[in-house]
Amino acid sequence: MALEPGKPTRQKRSRKKEGVKPGRVSWIHGTKLKFFASRADEWKAASEADGPTLASLYTKVTNLYGPKYGYDMADGDDLDTDVEDPTDPDAKIPGSEKLSEEEEAELSAKQDMVRKRIAVWYCRTYHQVDERDKNLFADVLVGLENTGPGCPHKAQPPHYYSRNYYEERVKSRFNAAWAVEAQRAKDLELEKGPSEIKIRNKITRLVYEGESEAWELTRSETRVQTAEEMNAVLKNAVYYLDPLAEAIAQKFGLNCSILLCGPMGDRGGVIKVRSVHAGRTQGLAPRKWFQLDPMGYEAAEKSMIKFSERCFSEEECRTRTMGVEQTTAALTVMGSAGVDGALASTSGVVSASTSGGTSDAIASTSGAGRAARGDAPAAAPTSGVVLGSSGGGGASGIGGGTPGAVGGQATPEPEPPVGEGGGGEDESQAVLHEVWKPSEGETERWTPELNKVFGVFATAKEELGPVWGTCVRAWVDLEAVSGFDNKGGQLTTDKQPKEIKDFIRGGCRWYIPKHLGDRLGSKTIPNLYVAQWWEWWGVIQPEEGRDGQAWRRCMGVLGLCKENQDGRSYARSRV
């Protein structure tokens, strides 16, 4: 209920008394506290067994308490004026000589009650841990400290020396010293043998301290990271670059984009751009920079690539390659043709940035990996696979046509698909048998994810025919170009239509969805397993690999997805 204007507010009355501490008041206070505290030294001496026993002390104090205060005084009462303490412990309360037997028994009961309360007060106020208990606790604590794990120590130079050079420079000397110590302990019949770790540390320190200055200079040189290590670091960059970009944008109230440009190990050492972005446009459909102006963003990427080409030599790009022979051939043609010319080599890798994509897009032909492995002759590429294109001016966005001449050399025209678009039945069966039968030892280099998904793809080979097999083979070859990198279930494209994306979210563990059971369907029955995969593969194929209506339906869905795509998830996929 609101108070009327001008009416004083109601004040809550405090129950605390001024000058009195909160809580229950002890029955020993005032002059009684002074009376008992004056005998604290006697109680301590009695408790240490150096004086009278505690029982006799409690009896004495009780007898002195009675004549001064009486045994009927309430706990909260006290003397108005302090008087001198009695000195005779045998003194009795005045008038107790004329008590009857019943009154004497009642007085004795009161004395016993007061005596117990006095003993409790002394114990609670002055009692300390027994000296024996103190020693016991000390032993327990010291034992816990000695038996527990030691404090961590910062590694010293001999530790790093042992970690990196033990096999090469220490092991032989340690083995000799250990053999001598073991034989000595055996000859002397020692109960406890030598400590291996102590001898090893001692020998390591002696060897380390005996190293020459020349060796110290060679050791001080920084170890160069391998291409695999640098690629692993780049893969994890999004986990701290994306929050960093968001934090910078919030701190300064500005848009922030972080672009990394240089040789990418998983792209054959080719110079590419990886980026994260913070900041979106206003409106009902907010977009990031690369979504709002893909052509302008692509121009910025190309400018950064052109700058980076003058920062990294061919040898540096070659050392960034992740140990795949066919990718190093692309680096030999880098020069005036730029990155696109470098990619358009006989290895089958073609840059997609010239056909409307960003610099992060790549293309791989179906025969590239097999030609590099020696499984098949290096012939003209068949239907290629264009993955990861993020730019472009239209709804197609991915593989907007076949690349033309690059670096002054004409690209051979791809052959039509076998079986579906041309070729006899015998030829189709031969191709179908070839693509679904990996060469000897090939699957051993595959990741577990690649082996599993290849088996799932094979379930649709009869329904979809040789064209489906050619697509799968092209994807496997693309994995070979990138070093069969274990992506933990991530597919090699981030531009699937929304329908396919929803399907892959449930199937990325590489098993057939439970709601389908054994009904895989075919490419002519929509919304079933095989049709979903066929539409996706139709989108990522060049013009000669598309399948008419299926491709056109997917391109329409892709256009809608491109307009409504969430920028945050897409930005994470770019790094």
Q: Tell me what pLDDT residue 535 has.
A: 60
Band of residue 7 on the pLDDT scale cut at 50, 70, 90: low
* 272 beta partners: 262
| 375/194: higher pLDDT | 194
pLDDT, tens digit (0-9, with 9 covering 90-100), for 115-152? 899 888 888 888 765 666 666 767 777 777 677 667 77
- pLDDT score at 557: 37
Angstrom distance (rounded) from CA 69 to CA 212: 91
Highest averaged pLDDT of the listed ranges 153-167, 338-352, 399-413, 497-511: 153-167
Classified as helix, coil or strand, 69 is helix
The stretch 19-44 carries a mean pLDDT of 81
> Is residue 287's pLDDT more than 50?
yes
Residue 517 above 50 pLDDT?
no
φ, ψ of residue 258 to 5 degrees: the values are: -115, 120
In the 8-state DSSP scheme, what is residue 250?
H
Residue 203: Cβ-neighbour burial (10 angstroms; 0-12, 13-18, 19+): buried
For the record, the structure tokens of 185 come out as 């302990």
Decide: 43 and 126 in contact? Cβ < 8 Å. yes
Answering whether pTM is above 0.75, one says no
Q: Three-state DSSP class for 544?
A: helix
* φ/ψ of residue 519, rounded to 5: -90, 85
Q: Examine the pLDDT at 61 and tell me if it is beyond 80.
A: yes
Q: Give the per-residue pLDDT at 466.
A: 66
Hey, which residues does 363 pair with through a beta bridge?
A: 350, 386
**Any idea which of 235-239, 441-445, 446-450, 474-478 has the lowest mean pLDDT?**
474-478
Amino acid in position 61: V
Write the secondary structure of 341-396 as one string of H (helix), E (strand) and C (coil): HHHCCCCCEEECHHHCCCCCCEEECCCHHHHHHCCCCCCCCCCCEEECCCCCCCCC
pLDDT score at 175: 92
Choice between 385 and 174, residue whose per-residue pLDDT is larger: 174
Distance, in Å, from the CA atom of 194 to the CA atom of 177, rounded to the nearest integer, reads: 11
Residue 374 reports pLDDT greater than 80: no
Q: Which SS3 state, helix, strand or coil, does residue 514 take? A: coil
> What does DSSP say about strands 256-264 and 385-387: parallel, antiparallel, or unpaired?
unpaired
- Both tokens of 374, joined, read 């020696």
Q: What is the torsion angle, in degrees rounded to the nearest 10, for the CA atoms of residue 554, residue 556, residue 558 and residue 563?
A: -170
pLDDT at residue 83 above 50? yes
- Contact indicator for 142, 57 with CB cutoff of 8 Å: no
Quote the radius of gyration of the chain (alpha carbons, Å). 44
Top pLDDT among 406 and 34 is at 34
Q: Which residue has the tokens 């005998």?
A: 39
In the predicted structure, residue 522 carries a pLDDT above the cut 50: yes
Q: Which two tokens stand for residue 519?
A: 């009904």
Q: What angle do CA 70, 71, 73 make, to 5 degrees?
A: 75
Which amino acid is it at 308?
S
The pair of three-digit structure tokens given for residue 230, joined into one six-digit string:
């640098």
Mean pLDDT of 329-350: 30
Q: How far is it, in rounded angstroms, from Cα 48 to Cα 53?
A: 9
Residue 331 CA to residue 559 CA, distance in Å, equals 35
Closest CA to 57 of 37, 34, 39, 84: 39
Both tokens of 255, joined, read 């848009």
